[in-house]
C-alpha cells in the first residue's frame, strides 16, 4: 500500500527540538489509510479536550487556551486532512503555530503539554539509514523506508509537512518535464535530507539525467530496467 506519509527532515526536527513555548502541545493519534476519518475525528476531539484541560490546569491565559482550541477545532474540521491518512498523525501546536505529520508508523494515542514538544515517538520516522528515494523517470519520485513507501508524482512543488501560523500547505509534489526540470523538482522534495537517490532509467535518459543532476547523494549504479511481474499460474 502506498501511504500518504510525511517524512520529517533533519531541519524540521531540529526546529521542533529547539522550540520553546510555555504551552507546547504534542498529540499522537492512530489513523487508518482505509478510514474516512470519522472515528479519528472523534478521537482527536477527545485528545483535544484533554490537552485543553492540561493547559488550563497549568495556568495558561484564556487567550492562549482559546487559540489552541481553535486550531484543534480547525484540524478536526479539515476534510482534506482526513481524506488522505497514513497509520498515525502527529500534531505539534503552540498558541501561534501548528505542525502536523502523517506517519507510516503505528503509534498509540498520547497528549503531552510542556514548554517543549514531546518528540520521542516521532524519531522512528527519521531512520535515514533505512530510507531512500527512487526515481523511475524524471517526473515521478518515490520515497521509501523500512516501514513504508510514499509517492509524490503530481505537478507542483511544496513543503513536505505543514508548518503553519494559521496557514496550510499541501503534500509534497514534483514537477513534470524533461530531465533538467525533473532534477529541479527533486530539490524541494529532498531538501534537508541525506538519503540516497536511486535512478531507475535506461540510456540515454540515465546519462542525460546524471548530467543535470545536482543532488549530492545520487547513487552511481542505476536500476536499468523495470521489474517484470511474476507470471500468472495457469
* C-beta of residue 158 within 8 angstroms of C-beta of residue 169: yes
**Do both 17 and 98 map to the same domain?**
yes
**Do both 67 and 78 map to the same domain?**
yes
Q: Cα separation of 48 and 41, whole Å?
A: 10
**Do both 46 and 110 map to the same domain?**
yes
Q: In the listed set 110, 125, 140, which residue is the last one of a domain according to the structure?
A: 125
**Do both 62 and 96 map to the same domain?**
yes
pLDDT of residue 193: 61
Cα angle 130, 13, 192 (rounded to 5 degrees) comes to: 65
Q: Cα separation of 57 and 80, whole Å?
A: 32
**Do both 93 and 153 map to the same domain?**
no
The per-residue pLDDT string of the chain (234 residues; one tens digit each, 9 = 90 and over) reads 567 888 777 778 889 999 999 999 999 999 999 998 999 999 999 999 999 999 999 999 999 999 999 999 999 999 988 988 999 999 999 999 999 999 988 899 999 999 999 998 887 655 544 444 454 444 444 444 444 444 443 333 333 333 333 333 333 333 344 555 555 666 666 665 666 677 787 888 888 888 888 888 787 877 765 544 445 554
Which backbone phi and psi does 15 adopt, to 5 degrees?
-65, -40
**Do both 171 and 114 map to the same domain?**
no
**Do both 109 and 197 map to the same domain?**
no
pLDDT of residue 62: 96
Q: Cα separation of 192 and 163, whole Å?
A: 15
21 is a domain residue: yes
58 is a domain residue: yes
* C-beta of residue 65 within 8 angstroms of C-beta of residue 37: no
Q: Cα separation of 206 and 196, whole Å?
A: 16
pLDDT of residue 146: 45
Report pTM.
Answer: 0.59
85 is a domain residue: yes
Sign of CA dihedral 214, 215, 216, 222: negative
pLDDT of residue 137: 45
225 is a domain residue: no
pLDDT of residue 110: 96
**115 grid coordinates:** 514548554
pLDDT of residue 39: 94
154: left (phi > 0), else alpha (psi -120 to 50), else beta? beta
Q: In the listed set 101, 125, 149, which residue is the last one of a domain according to the structure?
A: 125
Domain hosting 66: range is 11-125
Please count the structural domains in the chain. Answer: 2
30 is a domain residue: yes
Q: How far apart are the first and last CA of the chain?
A: 26
**Do both 20 and 112 map to the same domain?**
yes
* C-beta of residue 44 within 8 angstroms of C-beta of residue 29: yes
223 is a domain residue: no
CA nearest 86: which of 17, 150, 3, 207?
Answer: 3
Amino acid at each position: 500500500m502506498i501511504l500518504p506519509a510525511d517524512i520529517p527532515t533533519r531541519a524540521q526536527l531540529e526546529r521542533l527540538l529547539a522550540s520553546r513555548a510555555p504551552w507546547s502541545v504534542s498529540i499522537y493519534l492512530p489513523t487508518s489509510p482505509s478510514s474516512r476519518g470519522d472515528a479519528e475525528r472523534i478521537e482527536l476531539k477527545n485528545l483535544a479536550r484533554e490537552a485543553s484541560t492540561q493547559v488550563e490546569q497549568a495556568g495558561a491565559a484564556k487567550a492562549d487556551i482559546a487559540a489552541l482550541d481553535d486550531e484543534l477545532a480547525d484540524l478536526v474540521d479539515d476534510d482534506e486532512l482526513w481524506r488522505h491518512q497514513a497509520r498515525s498523525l502527529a500534531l505539534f501546536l503552540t498558541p501561534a503555530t501548528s505542525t502536523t505529520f502523517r506517519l507510516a508508523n503505528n503509534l498509540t494515542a498520547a497528549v503531552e503539554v510542556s514548554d517543549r514538544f514531546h518528540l520521542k515517538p516521532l524519531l522512528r520516522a527519521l531512520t535515514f539509514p533505512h530510507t531512500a528515494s527512487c526515481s523511475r523517470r524524471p517526473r515521478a519520485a518515490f520515497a521509501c523506508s523500512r516501514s513504508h513507501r510514499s509517492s509524490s508524482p503530481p505537478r507542483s512543488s511544496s513543503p513536505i509537512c505543514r508548518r503553519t501560523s494559521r496557514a496550510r500547505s499541501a503534500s509534497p509534489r514534483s514537477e513534470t518535464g524533461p530531465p533538467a526540470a525533473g532534477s529541479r523538482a527533486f530539490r524541494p522534495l529532498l531538501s534537508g535530507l541525506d538519503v540516497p537517490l536511486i535512478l531507475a532509467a535506461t540510456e540515454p535518459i540515465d546519462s542525460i539525467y546524471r548530467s543535470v543532476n545536482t543532488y549530492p547523494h545520487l547513487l552511481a549504479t542505476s536500476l536499468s530496467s523495470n521489474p517484470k511481474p511474476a507470471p500468472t499460474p495457469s
